Chain A
Amino acid sequence: MSSIKNIAVSLSGSAASLCTAKYAIYLAKQLNAKLFAVYVIDARSLRELLKTGVFLEVEASEHERDLKDQGSNTLERVKKLAEVKKVEYEGILLKGVVHEEVTNAARNLPADLLVIGELRELASCREIFYDEGERIFRESPCPVVVVKNPEEVDRLYREL
């Protein structure tokens, strides 16, 4: 029996994040674990854009609604991908500072493993503080798996 019962995966809604989800499904299936997919509405960017006057209130509300839709659609897509492979699944839609919400969710579940997408190359030490992926990686309360090689992930998922 594996000691990994709960796996959390952080999703951004991008095409690349579906690859991340597929690898998380692969892991959950192999380990007979439950998969929790987490999507966070990026409230920090919205707040900053309002504060600096780039966004109007109405615009921020519209973007927040669209992010919520994107999050719901992403979680629904991943649910279907998990169902096909008979993996127990739960989607979690949150709003806030992305890295804080993801790491809090991992802590509260509690997740035994956190799966995230590939980290981007950092141009400076400053980005360690601003890049959400980097901060999730560093602040996660549990071990983190960083997904790479989309072709290989697709193959693993297909053959599952």
Chain B
Amino acid sequence: MKISDYLKKEFCIMDLKAGNKEQAIREVANCLTVNGKIKDKEKFIHDILERESLGSTGIGHKVAIPHSRTEVVNGFAIGFGRSKEGIDFKALDGDKVNLIFLMGANPSELNLYLRLLAELSRLLMENSFRRELIAANTGDEVVDIIRKYEAGGIVK
């Protein structure tokens, strides 16, 4: 399974209103909840923030991947949020974060969760991938970009 099998255009927020980390996580979590991926939004947010409290998931390059394994996720969930202004995530490089991928998985999906999280972090190391996500106009475009890079830069 690939990231693009799970990330739908409906789970993408192209212009986050959030001004801080918790608000950003809430905004994307709300989107996933409305679309039926999360059973208990508040518990999900709590679990995500608890993980953040151990250390920021702002991995540098203006990217954050807040994540958690928690029972309140239906299978595997991934949402995307983009902030034009940038959000202070206390990222490793100190930069504000523009691209946020919020990931959650039911504990029963452990292998899938690890594989997709590793795949996403690998893709996000590519400058051109991040640049295209920053420039995307719609959720459809975000999904297409991910699909393209999953395919090695060439869509089948």
B55, B114, B117 interface centre (most CB from chain A within 10 Å): B114
B156–A49 contact, CB under 8 A? no
Given contacts A53-B92, A123-B150, contact A45 B54 (CB under 8 A): no
Closest chain A residue to B2 by CB distance?
Answer: A123
- B156 proximity list for chain A (CB < 8 A): 123-124
- Asked if A126 contacts B152 (CB within 8 A), the reply is yes
Among A43-72, those with CB < 8 Å from B are: 44-46, 48-49, 52-54, 56, 58-59, 63, 66-67, 70
Pairs across A and B, CB under 8 Å, 29 listed: A12-B111, A13-B110, A14-B111, A42-B115, A44-B118, A45-B118, A48-B122, A49-B114, A52-B121, A54-B57, A54-B67, A58-B54, A59-B54, A63-B110, A66-B107, A66-B110, A67-B110, A67-B111, A70-B110, A70-B111, A120-B1, A123-B156, A124-B151, A124-B156, A126-B151, A127-B150, A127-B151, A127-B152, A130-B119
**A48 and B111 within 8 A (CB):** no
**Chain A residues, CB < 8 A from B147:** 123
| Interface status of B135 (Cβ within 8 A of chain A) | no
Inter-subunit contact B54/A52 (CB<8 Å): no
CB-defined interface of B45-81 with A at 8 Å, one 1/0 digit per residue? 0000001001101011000010100000000000000
A residues 118-159 near B (Cβ < 8 Å) are 120, 123-127, 130
Within 8 A of A (CB), among B88-134: 92, 107, 110-112, 114-115, 117-119, 121-122, 124-125
CB distance from B109 to the nearest CB of A (A): 8
Docked CA distance A123–B152 (Å): 9
Contacting pair B65 A54 (CB below 8 A) = yes
Contacts of B117 in A (CB 8 A): 45, 49, 54
- Select the residue from A52, A67, A126 with max chain B CB neighbours within 10 A: A52
Cα-based distance from A56 to B68 in the complex (angstroms): 13
Query: A56-B54, A130-B119 are known contacts; what are 4 more A-B pairs with Cβ within 8 Å?
Result: A42-B115, A58-B54, A66-B110, A126-B151
List B contacts of A125 (CB < 8 A).
Answer: 152
B121 and A54 within 8 A (CB): yes
Cα distance A70–B110 when bound, in Å? Answer: 9
Q: How far is the CB of B156 from chain A (nearest CB, A)?
A: 5
Q: Which residues of B contact A45 (CB under 8 A)?
A: 114-115, 117-118
Distance of A59 Cα from B125 Cα, bound (Å):
21
